Structure 1
Amino acid sequence: MSDNIRVGLIGYGYASKTFHAPLIAGTPGLELAVISSSDETKVKADWPTVTVVSEPKHLFNDPNIDLIVIPTPNDTHFPLAKAALEAGKHVVVDKPFTVTLSQARELDALAKSLGRVLSVFHNRRWDSDFLTLKGLLAEGVLGEVAYFESHFDRFRPQVRDRWREQGGPGSGIWYDLAPHLLDQAITLFGLPVSMTVDLAQLRPGAQSTDYFHAILSYPQRRVILHGTMLAAAESARYIVHGSRGSYVKYGLDPQEERLKNGERLPQEDWGYDMRDGVLTRVEGEERVEETLLTVPGNYPAYYAAIRDALNGDGENPVPASQAIQVMELIELGIESAKHRATCALHEKWMVQFAPSILLLRGDFFSQCAFFLSAEESHFQTINLCLADLLAG
């Protein structure tokens, strides 16, 4: 592929305008060539030299487009990505990858069969605070992490008339905000042994999930992921406790706000987070508390890596196989919330256990155990050993 990779962008809503268009345009070697939008005036106000077409099909049929980026409503990710791949294009899909796990697996298989790069925009791997935390763990500063808490809380008490807050497939913050936190947890710790999730609609008039609380269980670690639209007071972004110390960070990475304000790349001070974290280290019998400078965030690194991957000079920064793991936890979390159960991941089976029913489902690639007590009206979680069940 030539040094000049021509990019087609589908849609010009919030994600395209705020993230993808400026990041693509600011990446050397990428050309923001064509945008599919019904509002040409809106696009031209920001990008006067970019070609605007009315339908995504024009991007699929354009032989000069190398890469198609899909930051559209979640339930359109699968059909648009499939059509783009079948047209021979490389594809970037915004998170969440798809609405269902089966869709994600189908796209991954299709991309591999066609030899196309398929990547998912999990941009918060390049948040300032996450890069700082990732460095602390890599250096062993906190020792073995026993407790990890991550929040994505907002205060939006009024339900807005937007697709993300309507009741359709892939709506609500379990699909909007939780993928960020799930992806970060998997990046740091891998897949959990089990998870317990509570999903709710707490605001008057809410049509989709506006609250989630997830507990990811590891052999000697608990990961808490929390999101709500009703948090007026500031919550800590991260609370992390390990065998050698703790790290607490408030505030949110500033890159989205700067992009939303229309700032263009590159900039020398890009990604600097003015809010530092607090590191508490144990030295002998003493606890030493210090302010820890936050590493600059780096959203531009994603599209730079995409460019390198397409040119054969690097790896896909977020391959579909990694996004599939996020989708696995999204679906498992929905099952957990639905049954008020603790669901355990397993390579081949999901087990649902009730007094007279044992159901094995090989399509879910997980094991979900719950027990309905004959004496009580609520579900009680129990531990099941799949090996013992199959052996018995």
Structure 2
Amino acid sequence: MDRIIQTGVCSYGMSGTIFHVPFIHVHPGFEFAAVVERSKNLAQEKYPNVKVYRSVEDMIKDPALDLIVVNTPNYTHYPYTKAALEAGKNVIVEKPFTVTSAEGQELMELAKSKGLFLSVFHNRRYDSDYKIITEVVQSGVLGDIQEAEIHYDRFREELSYKKHKETANPGTGALYDLGAHIIDQALLLFGMPKSLWADIRIIRKESVVDDYFELVFYYDNMRVRLHTSYLVREPMPSYQFHGRLGSFIKTKADVQEAQLQRGLLPNSPGWGEEGIHEWGLLHTEKDGKVVKQFLPSPTGNYLNYYQDVYDALVNGGKNPVPAADGLRIIKIIEAAFQSSKERKAIDL
């Protein structure tokens, strides 16, 4: 590599240990140079050369760092990203981009004014299941799509051990957490809807944050439904697409998170490969004949996000997830809360 990007990570919790540091460590163009741990030194036990800071503010001041990964609780994304940009650092900020669209707009303009790189970590764009969905939709094999449904469900009555996710702070709840992923996927596939309707609820017994939502996106000749519930023990297919020629249904089956939790690195054999039992079902017409077949998914790999970041920073490539993409998701979330509160569709 012509250049090594010195990278600091703002948190060494699950996001840091699972979704960021392994990829920074494996990619030859990045150096995991610094991390924030308030009281422990867990990162140094695994990565002896990393420098440990006790506060984000101190790490951002490090003149050796080129890139800061803001992977702290949602309500801190805005102040930490702003501080990093003002310090002249390029930034990757975890999804959701910010809590409000006003915050996102300000950060986007700040990065532009300083000529700095600002990207939102929407890693689910690099999932195996989303890749095959994209291929099917773009191929036109379903004909004119009339309806689509994307689910991100789980079964979890108990509250998360991550207290910041279960406290009624700005930016908490399922819509900001899981909704940001499937909203992003819907927007990439179909663009911004003309209007939306939403129902957002709290359904777990002890919860104080939303853990159920249903969104309906209205397009001229199509409807897209997005759904999350924390009380779905037996999930239905996560992706359901129906067109004038046929249907495609698919489970949410990307294996990368499970592999990372087992301690595997993204250069391991079999990385990101779905099992054959998770292949999506295509039932459509081709050349006047009915076809019913299972389609294998491409390999998922979040390392490709970091490769895209490297190309953008070093080779003048395209930002894989520009701030504008993150901003429109926040605008959708704001409109969804308004819709649920007012019990009506909201024009966008």
List per-residue Cα deviations over 1:216-272 (Å, max 9, x = no partner).
110011101000110011221101111222110124311111112211132342211
If you compute each CA radius of gyration, which structure gives the higher value, 1 or 2? 1
Q: After superposition, where does 1:270-285 map in structure 2 within 5 Å? A: 270-274=271-275, 275-283=278-286
Alignment-derived partner of residue 127 in structure 1: 127
SS of match in other structure, 1:69 = strand
State the shift of 1:287 in Å: 3.0
Alignment-derived partner of residue 365 in structure 1: none
TM-score, L = length of structure 2: 0.96
Asked if the contact 2:200/2:210 (under 8 Å) is kept, the reply is: yes
Separation in structure 1 between the aligned mates of residue 243 and residue 39 of structure 2, nearest angstrom: 51
State the shift of 1:313 in Å: 3.4
Alignment-derived partner of residue 139 in structure 1: 139
Structure 1, unaligned runs of 5 or more: 346-392
Separation in structure 1 between the aligned mates of residue 57 and residue 131 of structure 2, nearest angstrom: 38
Q: After superposition, where does 1:1-392 map in structure 2 within 5 Å? A: 3-161=3-161, 162-274=163-275, 275-283=278-286, 286-345=289-348
Q: Which has the higher contact order (CA 8 A, sep 6+)?
A: 2
Asked if the contact 1:36/1:55 (under 8 Å) is kept, the reply is: yes
Separation in structure 2 between the aligned mates of residue 341 and residue 2 of structure 1, nearest angstrom: 54
Instruction: Give, as a single letter, the amino acid of the residue that structure 2 aligns with 1:307.
Output: Y
Separation in structure 2 between the aligned mates of residue 210 and residue 230 of structure 1, nearest angstrom: 9
List per-residue Cα deviations over 1:86-135 (Å, max 9, x = no partner).
00000000000001010000000000000000000001011101101111
State the shift of 1:334 in Å: 0.7
> Given the superposition, is the C-alpha separation of residues 50 and 217 from structure 1 closer, same or farther in structure 2, using an over 3 Å criterion?
same
Separation in structure 1 between the aligned mates of residue 252 and residue 84 of structure 2, nearest angstrom: 37
Asked if the contact 1:196/1:337 (under 8 Å) is kept, the reply is: yes
Asked if the contact 1:40/1:52 (under 8 Å) is kept, the reply is: no
Alignment-derived partner of residue 377 in structure 1: none
Asked if the contact 2:74/2:99 (under 8 Å) is kept, the reply is: yes
Separation in structure 2 between the aligned mates of residue 40 and residue 205 of structure 1, nearest angstrom: 31
Separation in structure 2 between the aligned mates of residue 264 and residue 33 of structure 1, nearest angstrom: 18
State the shift of 1:2 in Å: 5.7
Separation in structure 2 between the aligned mates of residue 38 and residue 59 of structure 1, nearest angstrom: 12
Asked if the contact 2:41/2:52 (under 8 Å) is kept, the reply is: no
State the shift of 1:286 in Å: 4.8
State the shift of 1:139 in Å: 1.7
Structure 2, unaligned runs of 5 or more: none
Separation in structure 1 between the aligned mates of residue 46 and residue 329 of structure 2, nearest angstrom: 33
Separation in structure 2 between the aligned mates of residue 300 and residue 235 of structure 1, nearest angstrom: 29
State the shift of 1:47 in Å: 2.0
Separation in structure 2 between the aligned mates of residue 50 and residue 185 of structure 1, nearest angstrom: 38
SS of match in other structure, 1:177 = helix
Asked if the contact 2:239/2:252 (under 8 Å) is kept, the reply is: no
Separation in structure 2 between the aligned mates of residue 283 and residue 50 of structure 1, nearest angstrom: 55
Separation in structure 1 between the aligned mates of residue 68 and residue 101 of structure 2, nearest angstrom: 22
